[in-house]
Amino acid sequence: MPIKICESCGTYNHISARLCCNCGEQFSFQQKLVGKAGTDELIKAAATEPVPIIETFNVTYAIYAKHDGKFGKPPTLKATYFTSGLAFKEFVCLEHNGMAGKIARDWWRRRHKEEPPKTIDEALGFVSQLRIPRQIRVHVNKMYPEILNAEF
């Protein structure tokens, strides 16, 4: 049975006791680290994160290439948008399942009148027919800038 010893009288007490069962001395409790998730650090980190900087860029041209998947993941279509002096990349996961695949198919439908192809190799045959965005909105103060929106 877990116990703690009263520092005043030396009596053994159950670990959950707040007062000594012999002399009534109050036990002190320390904050313990726990092995489960908490939100305190996340909230603190969110308060210190920089405000997102979102900028709009005019797209000069775009190129598309196959990007081979790593660790057994399917390949993606890498879209690179060139602006005046900068290039931004976007990875389109046409061969993926779930939410990544849905986002990729929606991406394709905004750029092409036909239904999305099943593979990246098929998609590469249609890239010359894709509509190129006139402008892109980019979250620029991230380690990897994120394209938020494309305007045609």
pLDDT one-digit tens code per residue, 37-60: 766 666 666 666 678 899 999 999
Tens of pLDDT, residues 119-148: 999 999 999 999 999 999 999 998 899 999
Q: φ and ψ at 22, to 5 degrees?
A: -100, -55
Computed over every residue of the chain, the mean pLDDT equals 89
What are the residue boundaries of the structural domains of the chain, listed by start?
Answer: 1-30, 54-151
So what's the pLDDT on residue 39? 67
Name the amino acid, one letter, at 73: K
